[in-house]
Amino acid sequence: MDAHEVNRVRASLALFVADVFVSVPRKDQRAKGDCYLRGLMMDGRRKSVQAMAARLPDGNEQNLQQFVNQSLRGLVFSGQASDRLFHAAIRNFSYSA
């Protein structure tokens, strides 16, 4: 996905992020989670924090690194987080040949 395509599904992705990261206590940490997932979804061979931060308009390498090192530790997925929510977040996205 390029940046435009990720932005097309951003509102739906936000609902997915809210559900998946419900156990992350702070709002700023959940926002970093949103940024991290968008970085994973975007085109690019390297999925390192440094490479993702460079591709994202709101990417901040230090914030993403902190999210990966601290916020993901002990993450508890809610019972409602599922593949269904992720597919709903991207169902309007169509791949072009």
pTM metric for this prediction = 0.68
**82 band by pLDDT with thresholds 50, 70 and 90:** low
Task: Give the tens place of pLDDT for each residue, 33-76.
Answer: 888 888 888 888 888 999 999 988 888 999 999 888 887 776 66
Q: Check the CA dihedral 46-83-75-2 and report its sign.
A: positive
- Up-side HSE of residue 39: CA atoms within 13 Å toward CB? 27
Spell out the domain ranges in the chain: 3-90
- pLDDT of 1 reads 75
Task: Give the tens place of pLDDT for each residue, 9-40.
Answer: 877 778 877 877 777 888 888 888 888 888 88
Q: Does residue 97 have a pLDDT over 50?
A: no
